[in-house]
């Protein structure tokens, strides 16, 4: 694994730097990408710094918006991915058209796809790694830089509830908050939902099927989303809803996309689920991951796998 100093030295060598994150982004994907990009622009005003993606920010566009990027921009460019464990999840497939590729991530390194990488799977958020990198290399951390990084850490720690949250995490967010960012506004932006999204959160419980093992799933069809005027990105607000139920310890929320495939959300209170996600063009954390399903047959297979690991978890903890 490369060091922060080595990554910084590589950054110094390029006049164009293009940053990617994962598709269907969460606050950490956008926050780590934006925080690094904004600091680089301040440190290197003569370099071209671009944020690349598929314009799928949805309700999270308040964190960052993508720049127009063409294939020609990658000629001789340095490409950096943040918060993306495997190539299948990189948003904008031009990422491999550059001269050199760096991976900065906090997911298990199941696919070491880059020329240089810094992966810390003990860090609760890629945004925390970026904040550490900026501090170590004495890069600018202004309010503009701190805002998306703070949002990313809040998002991926579940508002500091997840077990990866450490004393160091709090020291990092304290430094970010000291720049004068509006932390109340960030918390509200992450937690607020529209009225129709709130209705969808209620509907997901009606669709929920619970196995005796404690595994559960719900399928949100395009018809259900269209009825409320909600798109598949906005439907991500439902993912944490089943976790409020005491008897559910692991769950899937399947969101049908317009093309008939499914975005798959995995969440868990104990069973490790990121290895399951990796089988289905996805990945993530031990207790929170994402994947894809091509049809209802794969949906059925995914839930059967979740039931199995949940049973094994229950048996091991009896």
Are 165 and 280 within one domain? Answer: no
Residue 15 has a pLDDT of: 98
Paired with 251 in beta bridges are 216, 267
Is the same domain home to 181 and 215?
A: no
| Residue after which a domain boundary falls, among 138, 173, 190 | 190
Domain boundary among 156, 190, 224: 190
Question: Does residue 181 share a domain with residue 47?
Answer: yes
How far apart CA 247 and CA 266 sit, in angstroms, is 16
Quick one: the chain helix, strand, coil %, rounded to 5?
45, 20, 40
Q: Do 223 and 159 fall into the same domain?
A: no
Residues 120 and 248 in one domain: no
Classify 303 as helix, strand or coil: helix
Residues 118 and 214 in one domain: no
145 and 235 assigned to the same domain: no
Domain that holds residue 13: 4-190
Do residues 100 and 214 both lie within one domain? no
pTM: 0.86
Question: pLDDT band for position 263 (50/70/90)?
Answer: very high
**C-alpha closest to that of 267 among 283, 256, 251:** 251
> What's the residue count for the chain?
318
Q: Considering only 60-69, 199-208, 290-299, which range has the smallest mean pLDDT?
A: 199-208
Q: Do 36 and 139 fall into the same domain?
A: yes
Band of pLDDT at residue 235, cut at 50, 70 and 90:
confident
pLDDT at 284 exceeding the cut of 90: no
Number of domains observed in the structure of the chain: 2
Q: Tens of pLDDT along 19-28? A: 999 988 999 9
Domain shared by 37 and 92, yes or no:
yes
The pLDDT of residue 52: 98
* C-beta of residue 156 within 8 angstroms of C-beta of residue 28: yes
Question: With 80 as the cut, is the pLDDT of residue 233 above it?
Answer: no
pLDDT in tens, 265-279: 999 999 999 999 989
Which CATH number does the domain housing residue 201 bear? 3.10.310.30
- Span 82-117, pLDDT tens digits: 999 989 889 999 999 999 999 999 998 888 999 999
Where residue 96 sits, what CATH number does that domain have? 3.90.1640.10
Report how far apart the first and last C-alpha atoms of the chain are (Å, whole number). Answer: 39
The model's pLDDT over 28-55, given as tens digits with 9 standing for 90+, comes to 999 999 999 999 999 999 999 999 999 8
pLDDT tops 80 at residue 145:
yes
Of 1-15, 81-95, 229-243, least confident by mean pLDDT is: 229-243
101 lies in the same domain as 245:
no
What was the pLDDT predicted at 194? 85
264, 282 Cβ separation under 8 angstroms: yes
Contact 161, 190 (CB under 8 A): no
| Among the listed residues 117, 129, 106, the one whose alpha carbon sits nearest the alpha carbon of residue 35 | 129
Q: State whether 180 and 215 are in the same domain.
A: no
Q: Single out the residue in 190, 218, 237 at which a domain terminates.
A: 190
């Amino acid at each position: 694994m490369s060091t922060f100093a080595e990554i910084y030295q590589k950054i110094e060598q390029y006049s164009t730097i293009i940053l990617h994150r994962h598709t269907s982004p969460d606050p950490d994907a956008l926050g780590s990408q934006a925080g690094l990009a904004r600091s680089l622009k301040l440190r290197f005003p003569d370099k071209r710094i671009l944020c690349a993606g598929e314009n799928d920010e949805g309700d999270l566009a308040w964190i960052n918006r993508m720049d127009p990027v063409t294939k020609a921009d990658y000629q001789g460019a340095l490409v950096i991915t943040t918060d993306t464990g495997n190539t299948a999840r990189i948003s904008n497939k031009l990422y491999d058209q550059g001269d050199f590729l760096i991976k900065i991530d906090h997911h298990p390194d199941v696919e070491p796809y880059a020329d240089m990488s810094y992966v810390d799977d003990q860090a609760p958020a890629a945004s925390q790694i970026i904040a550490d990198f900026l501090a170590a290399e004495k890069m600018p951390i202004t309010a503009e830089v701190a805002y998306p990084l703070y949002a990313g850490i809040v998002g991926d720690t579940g508002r500091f509830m997840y077990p990866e949250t450490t004393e160091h995490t709090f020291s990092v967010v304290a430094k970010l908050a000291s720049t004068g960012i509006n932390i109340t506004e960030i918390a509200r932006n992450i937690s607020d939902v529209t009225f129709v999204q709130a209705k969808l959160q209620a509907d997901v419980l009606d669709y929920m099927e619970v196995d005796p093992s404690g595994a559960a799933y719900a399928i949100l069809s395009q018809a259900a989303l269209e009825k409320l005027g909600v798109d598949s990105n906005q439907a991500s607000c439902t993912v944490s809803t089943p976790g409020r139920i005491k008897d559910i310890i692991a769950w899937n929320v399947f969101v049908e996309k317009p093309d008939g495939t499914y975005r798959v959300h995995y969440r868990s209170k104990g069973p490790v689920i990121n290895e399951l996600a990796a089988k289905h063009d996805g990945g993530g954390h031990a207790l929170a991951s994402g994947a894809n399903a091509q049809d209802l047959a794969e949906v059925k297979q995914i839930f059967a796998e979740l039931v199995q690991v949940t049973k094994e978890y229950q048996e091991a903890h009896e």
